[in-house]
Chains A and B, each alone.
Chain A
Amino acid sequence: MKRPPLDAGRVSAALLGAPAAAWLGVHALVVVAPVADDVRLLLGELALLPAVAVAACAALASRSGRRAWLGSCALFALAALVVGVLA
């Protein structure tokens, strides 16, 4: 059966899960980045928007909504762990 171009799972992951994971992922990145504080802030501000856009595209390009949400949750959990432990 032909898969619809977009399904609720992938759309919801692209709108909610992936941007949230990307958001927290960038925060984790700035926490671990071995650079000066002003460069960390810069990195965070510059990376946030492209990260959210790319994460949304990745969710849309995933094979199913389930995989999109799984990837988003995995990234979110990893980022939360890094931010929680190191921040």
Chain B
Amino acid sequence: MSARLRLPPATFAAFREAHAWAGVLSSLVLFVLFFLGAFAMFWEHLGPWQEPRLRTETSATEEQALAAAQRHLEERLAARPTWLAIALPHAGEPWLHVRELLPSGDEKVERVHPVTGERASPTSELGYFLYEMHFLDALPGGMQVAGAASGVMVFLIVTGLALLLGRRLLDLLRFRPRAKPRVAWSDAHKVLGLVTAPALLVFAWTGAQLCLIEDLARPSLVRAIFDGDEAAAARSLGMTPRPSPAGTPGELPDLAAALATAREALPDVRHGRFVIANLGDANVTVDVGGEDHATLSIFSRVRLDGSGAVTSVLAPGGTTTHAKVSFPFYGLHFAKWADGATRIAYAVLALLGALCILTGNLWWLARRGRRGLVDRLLARLTAGVCAGLALAVAVLFLANQLLPRDLASRPALEEAAFFTTWGLVVVTALVAPATRVSTHALLAAASLYAAVPLLDAWRHARLPLSPTSSLYVVGVELGLFFLCALLVATAWVIRRVTSFPTAAPGAARPHGESNDDDS
């Protein structure tokens, strides 16, 4: 029965080559997306870790927070920002978080104490930077590259599963670490791929939808369906465009009243954000954003005009068929709907996905005996990019601990430390033996992941994993210790498998020959 499910030999060979080449060509980008995906899952939870002032509760009431937000709005009136977003305090961030787009095009981020009104620039953007780097948005054109790589990942999963058709389940779950490298990596790649395939398909498809399809495909689809009318397309999503500035002065919106109105409109939603556009103009709008964790698409928005009247309501889950289906993509990709345990499962699956991609490259290299220029370059880039990324993230956490808090460009310096470390490891891997560079970088990263929580505990005169610490801090400590253990294990496996005597290039198996590692 199972034999009938196998691909025909010619199709199998074609799929295998296509899977291998597509995987190798996209592997390094995909590794970055998946490895950083684990951090992106918790970027908002990293706030109290990256900025110790957020570890102290302010004990502010909602009235005090709203009054502070209103005062801030009045103070920013003269600057006439294009838009100004204010997030009210919550457990992970007890200060108001204010972000605004200035007419010059610059963005400004500030934190405002809800009781004293003290303003402070963020001393770290660690979490948001890792979130942005997850889809390469911190790099020019990075989001499109990430979207394209996610699309290739869908192809890799489809062809990978097709290649496994007709196999016995026991064969697919077999891992032989003591076998020759190409068999060990083949086993690891298949086991990891099979176990994570459903989750990886969700990550890849939703990732491609978010990064690529909306930017690349929507314009031509809107031309075909709506004759290019973007406003009609937006209405099909239940969205209404913001009015343009009228050019005449308008009243300052009352945020407390806006919040009360939004609560009347959507009583089941937890409202916590304001986005004010056209501030100081007669066409000012206030969007009161909220979240309802009972749905996959958790975000909601109630829009009010300058007089405080509701002009549109976007309920969680959306109102049109399109919105009901497409809005959950973001929540599904980042587990916005989920509790802590599910998010941890997402993060572990993302790391396993990264390991699956890594073992695919190592299998390719072991199978081909690293003969040609492409293989030698791939071996060095795999070592430099993958191990270098693990070390770069560790250095980012270390920089967050060591850089003086009063540095004006502190977040930029953290990011510089990340990119410098990553670049140095890649360059080192291009000139030094790849295996040695990767294992040393992984062990250095593991040491830093273990050292950073200890350093933070020493600096704040507390014990690591102390039950008296903030749950956010303990959660990050546990995550960093887990990463330490994972990287030590990865370095050990790489050293263990590559210590196997390498076959002479002449003994390498020709293409198409059936063997136990890839048939």
Residues of A whose CB lies within 8 Å of any CB of B are: 2-6, 10-11, 14, 27, 30-31, 36-42, 44-46, 48-50, 52-54, 56-57, 60-61, 63, 83, 87
> Would A39 and B11 count as touching, CB distance under 8 A?
no
If A50-B154, A53-B154 touch, whether A44 touches B217 (CB-CB below 8 Å) is yes
Which of B14-22, B289-297, B341-349, B415-423 touches A? B14-22
Most buried by B among A2, A31, A41, A63: A41
Residue pair A14, B225 in contact (C-beta under 8 Å): no
Q: Give the CA-CA distance A50 to B220 in the complex, in Å.
A: 17
The answer to whether A5 and B221 have CB atoms under 8 Å apart is: no
**Interface pair B221/A44, CB less than 8 Å apart:** yes
Is the Cβ of B236 less than 8 Å from the Cβ of A41? Answer: yes
Determine if B221 and A57 form an interchain contact, defined as CB atoms under 8 angstroms apart: no
B151 contacts A by Cβ under 8 Å: yes
Q: Is B428 an interface position by the 8 A CB rule? A: no
CA distance A57 to B10 in the complex (A): 13
Q: How far is the CA of A58 from the CA of B360 in the complex (A)?
A: 23
Contacts between the two chains (Cβ within 8 Å), count:
101
Query: Are the C-beta atoms of A41 and B322 separated by less than 8 Å?
Result: yes
B220 pairs with A41, CB closer than 8 A = no
Q: How far is the CB of B218 from chain A (nearest CB, A)?
A: 7
Give the contacting residue for A53; candidates B151, B226, B511; CB below 8 A: B151
CB within 8 A of B222: which of A41, A52, A57? A41
> Which residues of B are found within 8 Å of A6, using beta-carbon distances?
13-14, 17-18
What are 23 A-B pairs with beta-carbon distances under 8 A? A14-B18, A31-B225, A36-B321, A37-B226, A37-B232, A38-B236, A38-B320, A40-B221, A41-B222, A42-B321, A44-B221, A45-B209, A46-B209, A46-B325, A46-B326, A48-B217, A49-B151, A49-B212, A52-B151, A53-B155, A57-B18, A57-B155, A57-B162
Measured between C-beta atoms, what is the minimum distance from B364 to chain A in Å?
Answer: 14
Give the Cβ gap from A85 to chain B, nearest Cβ, in Å: 12
- Interface residue count on the B side (C-beta < 8 Å): 41
Contact status B322-A38, CB under 8 Å: yes
Residue in chain A with minimal CB distance to B154:
A53
Q: Are B224 and A27 interface neighbours, CB within 8 A? A: yes
Kindly list chain B residues whose C-beta atoms are within 8 Å of the C-beta of A61: 11, 14-15
A83 close to B213 (CB less than 8 A): no
Kindly identify which residue among B14, B205, B224, B236 contacts A49, using a CB–CB cutoff of 8 Å: B205
| B123 CB, nearest partner CB in chain A, Å | 40
| Residues of chain A with a CB closer than 8 A to B18's CB | 6, 11, 14, 56-57, 60
B511 pairs with A5, CB closer than 8 A: yes
The answer to whether B512 and A5 have CB atoms under 8 Å apart is yes
Question: Measured between alpha carbons, how far is A38 from B322 in the docked complex, in Å?
Answer: 6
- B189-240: which residues lie under 8 A (CB-CB) from chain A? 205, 208-209, 212-214, 217-218, 220-226, 232-233, 236-237
User: In the complex the two chains form, what is the Cα distance from A42 to B10 in whole Å?
Assistant: 36
> Are the CB atoms of B224 and A31 closer together than 8 Å?
yes
Are A54 and B158 closer than 8 Å at their CB atoms?
yes
Closest 10 CB pairs of A and B: A38-B236, A5-B13, A38-B322, A44-B221, A42-B322, A5-B17, A61-B11, A60-B14, A53-B155, A6-B17
Pair B221/A27 contact, Cβ less than 8 Å: yes
Query: Do B221 and A37 touch (CB < 8 A)?
Result: no
Q: Which residues of A contact B261 (CB under 8 A)?
A: none
Q: Is B159 an interface residue (CB 8 A)?
A: yes
Instruction: Determine the chain A residues whose CB is within 8 A of the CB of B223 once the complex forms.
Output: 87
Over the window 3-34 of chain B, the binary record of Cβ atoms lying under 8 Å from chain A Cβ atoms (1 yes, 0 no) is 00000001101111110000000000000000
In angstroms, Cα B228 to Cα A87, docked, is: 11
B486, chain A: closest CB distance, angstroms: 31
Whole-angstrom CA separation of A4 from B10 in the bound complex: 9
Query: What residues on A are CB-neighbors of B162 within 8 Å?
Result: 57
Q: In the complex, what distance in Å separates the CA atom of A50 from the CA atom of B206?
A: 12
Q: Which of B158-175 contact A (CB under 8 A)?
A: 158-159, 162
Judge whether B322 and A30 touch: CB under 8 Å: no
Quick check: A38 and B237 within 8 Å, CB to CB? Answer: yes
User: Which residue among A30, A38, A45, A46 has the maximum number of chain B CB atoms within 10 Å of its CB?
Assistant: A38
Q: Smallest distance from the beta carbon of A39 to chain B beta carbons, Å?
A: 5
Structural contact, B217 and A39, CB atoms closer than 8 A: no
Q: Is the CB of A37 within 8 A of B155?
A: no
Residues from 116 to 171 in B contacting A, C-beta threshold 8 Å: 151, 154-155, 158-159, 162
Q: How far is the CA of A83 from the CA of B511 in the complex (A)?
A: 43
Which listed residue (A5, A37, A45, A56) contacts B217, Cβ 8 A? A45
Query: Chain A contacts of B158 at CB under 8 A?
Result: 53-54, 57
Closest-by-CB residue of B relative to A39 is B321
- A45-B213, A60-B18 are known contacts. Are A2 and B512 too (CB-CB below 8 A)? yes
Contacts of B225 in A (CB 8 A): 30-31, 37, 40-41, 44
Q: Which residues of B contact A63 (CB under 8 A)?
A: 10
Q: Which residues of B contact A45 (CB under 8 A)?
A: 209, 213-214, 217-218, 221, 326
Instruction: Using A45-B326, A49-B209, A52-B151 as known contacts, list a sample of 17 further A-B pairs with CB atoms less than 8 Å apart, ordered by residue number in A.
Output: A5-B14, A6-B13, A6-B18, A30-B225, A37-B232, A38-B236, A38-B320, A39-B321, A40-B221, A41-B322, A45-B214, A45-B217, A45-B218, A53-B154, A56-B155, A61-B11, A87-B223
Residues of B within 8 A of A48 (CB): 213, 217
Q: How far is the CA of A34 from the CA of B486 in the complex (A)?
A: 52
Task: For the complex, give the distance between the alpha carbons of A31 and B227 in Å.
Answer: 11
